[in-house]
Structure 1
Amino acid sequence: MSSQSVNKQRIQSIDVLRGIIMLIMAIDHVRDFFHLSSVSPTDMANTTPALFFTRWITHFCAPTFVFLSGISANLAGSRRSPGEFSAFLIERGLWLIFVEVVLITLAISANPFYNFIILQVIWAIGISMIILGLFNRLPVKVIGLIGLLLFFGHNLFDLPGLSNPATDSAATKVLFTARAAIIPLGDSHFIFCLYAILPWTSVMLLGYAFGALYRSGYDAILRRRQLRYAGLITLGIFVILRAFNIYGDPSPWAVQRNTLFTIMSFLNTTKYPCSLLYLCMTLGVAMLLLSYFEKIQNKLTGIFNVYGKVPFFYYVPHFYIIRILSIIFLLAWGYTSKDLITPKSPIWFRPPTFGYSLPVVYLIWLAVIASLYFPCRWFGKYKQTHKQWWLNYL
């Protein structure tokens, strides 16, 4: 087998899980632009179970995506010298930040003047890759230990006296406590930071440490067992800490008007900034699924695999498809240029009176992901059989 073919080998369980979360993620993005509702999906007083779980299921996407990025980074490092690997991570991190600021911000806001720059998961991955690029010469166990310390320790900022949203510096917000933090860049331009860096970097570093389980020669049965135990322990930590509201989430759960809503409150962990319990809840499931998917191969996993092989190629276009469709539907409804900008909203072409019910949102979601199946399959085959340098960045 040639060295090139070895380099092009992929791990199916990783691609399958990544494909699943990429498809689920699109539900939330379609809902953002097509759902007619003034109710927050996580507001226990007003939400519905259908709306809550439509939002809740997408909570698994960002942590799993960042975790798998860390695993993939470890595998990429096995094919490069330490210096080459460090340069690759830093360059790729800078590229992802550029994509977030320029391409994704434009797709979401539809504002060519970039008055509102939005920093989300691609930004978090980019910054985390740069940090990993600076740490990559350290032993994997040390990188994993740093990840664990950040993972379990970042919610210390929730303790009284350690953080105050009204007085925190911009650096503190961006590094640790960003709760949809708005940072001014003058009178008419702002940064909207949804993803605090270091909590997400902890997930990247832990994923990098877990990547050692996928190195060539590692026993597959042992790997599946370790992933299964790690997933169960992580979920156990979530259940125990959450049950007693001890530590790990600034928003405690509470008994609600019935059993279902009480369960919803229990599951309603904090994403902005991502709490320890949010990460334990989502990554525990991700580890179990990684173990499970190593033994499963059928037509359905084959479909997921198509998307999971080319996450970047899927991610950027899916935003533009959703956004273009939303504008077309908007114009078809009879909205005009006067509806271009909604007062006090940084998002263009998104009047609050436009939208559909949840069933229609799901139909639009199915249409969006279906439209990308064949392009993703084509690009996956192209990437598998070609070795141009730029393919490493897509």
Structure 2
Amino acid sequence: MQPANSRIASIDILRGIVMIIMALDHTRDFFHDTAMTADPLDTDTTTPWLFFTRWVTHYCAPIFVFLSGMSAYLAAQKKTPAAASDFLLKRGLWLIIAELVIVTLGLTFNPQYNVLILQVIWAIGCSMIVLGLLMKVSFKAILIAGLILFFGHNILDYFNLPGHIWKILFTSFGTVIPIGNNRFIFAFYAIFPWTGAMLLGYCAGYFFRKDITAATRRRFLLMTGSAATLLFIILRTINRYGNPTPWEAKQSGFNTFLEFIDVSKYPPSLDFLCMTLGPALLLLAVLEHAKGKWKDVVSMYGSVPFFYYVLHFYLLHFLLVIAFFLSGYTANEIVDPNIPFLFRPADFGYSLPVVYLIWITVVAVLYKPCKWFHQYRKTHVQWWLKYI
């Protein structure tokens, strides 16, 4: 059993894995030569290497959100229900502000904030607020709401929902909301489909209680992980429900396979969530018995996810500025009106091997800062550390 005051190693390892993989996608956005001009998942134009470079990062956001819910449950065991609910409400609001102020600046390097970008931190913040409110009702209410949102949100694919509010809540895919003449909100993450994943992650946290045996937890993870993965295969084969766009057969069997596994992340479809969270639950069962130095290294990133998440954007963008000027671009080319990131012209970039090299370097450089902050948080008790 796990001591009450310790972190769950398997959760930190899995979170660390997805944090490392996540940095690959953002490195590709900043540094790959076709990142701003082509869709890496377009089976008619992409290459297998580029496709899987983008596709594998699909696992990051849903696992991150699901584990956030699981961590919220475990943290709530050390508080009264009212205190746990109030903390989630405050932390959710803080994350929304952090997305708008801190993360957006790291992404854009635009101090005038002409573009505000709402991504996974925004979705987690909103979901925490919903979770905090539902905690005031009951665990059963959280489970029911999670199941309805998780399995039922794709019903809205069959309706034409008017207005920005519906899109932000359920179907957002790059929804652009103008604010005045020169500012825009880019809402990439619809709230409620992600909330469904967080609510079910919270409920799954029950099986990580210190009074639940490892055998019971392993059985739950294997059963639910297998069921979710099988449901993805069944729904995708039937090709009627679970994804906004059905797949189509291609000229080659390999391209048809790529089309089969290319499911909607924006918004996250039921197929997408089952495809990613199913294997994640299976891996979580395996990682409980992980051994070796590698797990300590990987879990270090997973133990300080928000710190790592913010820092990696600033480091990547700082490197982008250096590469921008070394490539011969001038100050007149810092702003591209079609791209929200400064210092990132559409025709800039490197080949995929260079992108991988930059990614590995960035992850390696961030290990020491993550280790320092992990130790700092263990030895300090300032109130603000609970929010980072």
Q: Secondary structure at the match of 1:269?
A: coil
Alignment of 1:208-223 (within 5 A): 208-223=202-217
**CA shift digits 1:44-65 (9 cap, x unpaired):** 1101101100000000000000
In the alignment, is the contact (CA less than 8 A) between 2:4 and 2:210 conserved in 1? Answer: no
**CA shift digits 1:32-91 (9 cap, x unpaired):** 010001321111110110110000000000000000000000011111112211111011
Question: C-alpha root-mean-square deviation of aligned residues, in Å?
Answer: 1.3
Map of 2:286 onto structure 1? 292
Map of 1:187 onto structure 2? 181
Map of 2:154 onto structure 1? 155
The alpha carbon displacement at 1:7 in A equals: 6.3
**CA shift digits 1:1-35 (9 cap, x unpaired):** xxxx9664100000000000000000000000100
Could you tell me which of 348, 368, 372 is aligned with 1:374? Answer: 368
Q: Percent identity?
A: 51
In the alignment, is the contact (CA less than 8 A) between 1:341 and 1:348 conserved in 2? Answer: yes
Alignment of 1:6-45 (within 5 A): 8-37=5-34, 38-45=37-44
**How many Å separate the matches in 2 of 1:13 and 1:347?**
35
The letter for the 2-side match of 1:378 is: W
Map of 1:334 onto structure 2? 328
Q: Secondary structure at the match of 1:25?
A: helix
The letter for the 1-side match of 2:13 is: V
Change (3 A) 1:8 1:316: farther
The alpha carbon displacement at 1:307 in A equals: 0.6
The letter for the 2-side match of 1:11 is: I
**How many Å separate the matches in 2 of 1:192 and 1:209?**
31
Map of 1:146 onto structure 2? 145
Change (3 A) 1:7 1:386: farther
Alignment of 1:307-322 (within 5 A): 307-322=301-316
**CA shift digits 1:192-220 (9 cap, x unpaired):** 00001100000110000001111121111
1:268 pairs with 2:265: no
Q: Secondary structure at the match of 1:211?
A: helix
Map of 2:62 onto structure 1? 63
In the alignment, is the contact (CA less than 8 A) between 2:339 and 2:346 conserved in 1? Answer: no
Could you tell me which of 348, 353, 367 is aligned with 2:347? Answer: 353
Higher mean displacement: 25-34 or 138-147 = 138-147
4+ long deviations beyond 3 Å:
5-8
**How many Å separate the matches in 2 of 1:221 and 1:232?**
16
Counting matched residue pairs gives 385
**How many Å separate the matches in 1 of 2:321 and 2:126?**
32
In the alignment, is the contact (CA less than 8 A) between 1:8 and 1:384 conserved in 2? Answer: no
Change (3 A) 1:8 1:315: farther
Q: Secondary structure at the match of 1:138?
A: coil
**How many Å separate the matches in 2 of 1:380 and 1:363?**
26
Q: Secondary structure at the match of 1:21?
A: helix
Could you tell me which of 271, 278, 281 is aligned with 2:275? Answer: 281
TM-score by length of 1: 0.95
Map of 1:123 onto structure 2? 122
